[in-house]
């Protein structure tokens, strides 16, 4: 593999979570050490750290870093308050709530134990969550690659690479693995309006790995498919419902609808930590709506819309399971009927 991107780690003394500030990419590769609850919250909210698995891992380390600072009297009340605070930051990616809950449940299960012992166990748990994600991403990359042929070109949307996960990523895993093995697989990269995760992050990751990639605006994917330039769509996921409906970055469902029209298969790649069997369908998945400023002006030198214009800025949409040709998890490739197969594997 090309030199790994350590998007999330503990600082050497364990007192901070160290991240790459993704808002500065591709211009600058800068690391930040975050210690305070407000700093951790802000980093997730402003997408300095982003991507479903990554925010879950980050928040797990965050719980550990915060727990180190609690006194014995206040330990559990502060833990409860900080866990609820971190979970409230972003609603769609289930990994955030799931990993924070995992940390909280572990601490509660040890409530009679000495506090230093609980803190140590929390540190081990956060590292385990991270290690598990690395292993799941590797397995997803391997299974996803089995769906592609040498010479294929895929369409990517948003960023589902190492920055959004661990090491191989999910949606980009097959491409990174193919490159390692000398298999020629290329990519068209949706820029992914409005926050440009495709242009800023996916293109950066693919170019670092020496993978042939071509950046397009989101509205160019239809022509690319019509002209036969794309053989598969690879996307990650923020939360999958029990029937296979997949919430992912806004625009994914549009790309999937176009792909269906042109007979291009859509593959959704995700770790099992992103599957939420308590959501029966995509209609149960909460969709984050973000500030209109992100559409009006965020990545422009000057505003590109009249001051005060109303904006609606949903950050995710739901791709109907009927549009998905296969779901790829660490357990392999899953084909329809998804409700049956997801229940068998993860129910």
Contacting residues toward ligand MRU, per CB under 6 A: 47, 50-53, 93, 158, 160, 164-165, 170, 197, 236-238, 248-249, 315
238 is catalytic: yes
Name the residue nearer to ligand MRU (CB basis): 119 or 334. Answer: 334
Query: Which one is catalytic: 82, 190, 238, 245?
Result: 238
Q: Are 279 and 316 in contact (CB under 8 A)?
A: no
Contacts of 6-13 with C-beta under 8 Å, sequence gap 24+, read 7/49, 7/54, 7/162, 7/163, 7/166, 8/49, 8/54, 8/57, 8/58, 8/61, 8/130, 8/166, 10/61, 10/64, 10/65, 10/123, 10/126, 10/127
Nearest to 171 by CA among 208, 207, 210, 144: 144
Distance CA 286, CA 276 (A): 12
Residue whose CB is less far from ligand MRU, 125 or 190: 190
Closest approach, Cβ 238 to ligand MRU, in A, equals: 5
Q: How far is the CB of 193 from ligand MRU (least distance, A)?
A: 12
Q: Indicate the residue among 118 and 241 with the shorter CB distance to ligand MRU.
A: 241
Tokens encoding 7: 């998007």
Residue 125 or 167: the one with the smaller Cβ distance to ligand MRU is 167
- Give the HSE-up count for residue 273: Cα atoms under 13 Å, Cβ half-sphere: 28
Nearer to ligand MRU, 51 or 123 (CB): 51
The closest residue (CB) to ligand MRU is 236
Residue 72 CB, shortest distance to ligand MRU, in Å, is 36
Nearest-approach distance from CB 14 to ligand MRU, in angstroms: 26
What's the min distance (Å) between Cβ of 199 and ligand MRU? 12
Catalytic residues: 238
């Amino acid at each position: 593999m090309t030199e790994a991107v350590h998007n999330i780690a503990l600082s050497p003394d364990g007192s901070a979570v160290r991240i790459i500030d993704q808002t500065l990419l591709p211009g600058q590769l800068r690391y930040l050490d975050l210690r305070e609850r407000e700093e951790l919250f802000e980093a997730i909210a402003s997408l300095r750290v982003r991507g479903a698995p990554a925010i879950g891992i980050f928040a797990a380390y965050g719980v550990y870093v915060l727990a180190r600072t609690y006194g014995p009297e206040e330990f559990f009340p502060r833990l409860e308050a900080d866990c609820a605070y971190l979970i409230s930051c972003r609603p769609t990616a289930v990994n955030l709530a799931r990993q924070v809950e995992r940390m909280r449940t572990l601490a509660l299960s040890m409530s009679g134990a000495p506090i230093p012992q609980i803190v140590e166990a929390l540190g081990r748990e956060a590292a385990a969550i991270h290690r598990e994600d690395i292993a799941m991403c590797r397995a997803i990359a391997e299974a996803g690659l089995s769906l592609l042929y040498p010479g294929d070109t895929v369409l990517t949307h948003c960023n589902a690479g190492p920055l959004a996960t661990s090491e191989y990523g999910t949606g980009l895993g097959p491409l990174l693995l193919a490159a390692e093995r000398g298999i020629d697989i290329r990519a068209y990269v949706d820029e992914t309006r409005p926050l440009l995760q495709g242009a800023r992050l996916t293109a950066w990751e693919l170019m670092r790995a020496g993978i042939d990639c071509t950046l397009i605006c989101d509205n160019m994917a239809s022509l690319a498919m019509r002209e036969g330039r794309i053989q598969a769509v690879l996307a990650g996921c923020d939360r999958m419902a029990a029937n296979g409906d997949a919430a992912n970055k806004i625009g994914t469902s549009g790309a999937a609808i176009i792909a269906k029209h042109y007979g291009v298969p859509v593959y959704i790649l995700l770790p099992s930590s992103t599957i939420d069997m308590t959501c029966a369908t995509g209609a149960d998945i909460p969709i984050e709506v973000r500030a209109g400023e992100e559409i009006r002006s965020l990545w422009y030198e000057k505003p590109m819309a009249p001051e005060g214009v109303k904006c609606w800025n949903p950050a995710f949409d739901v791709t109907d399971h009927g549009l998905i040709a296969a779901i790829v998890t660490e357990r392999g490739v899953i084909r329809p009927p998804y409700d049956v197969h997801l229940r068998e594997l993860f129910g």
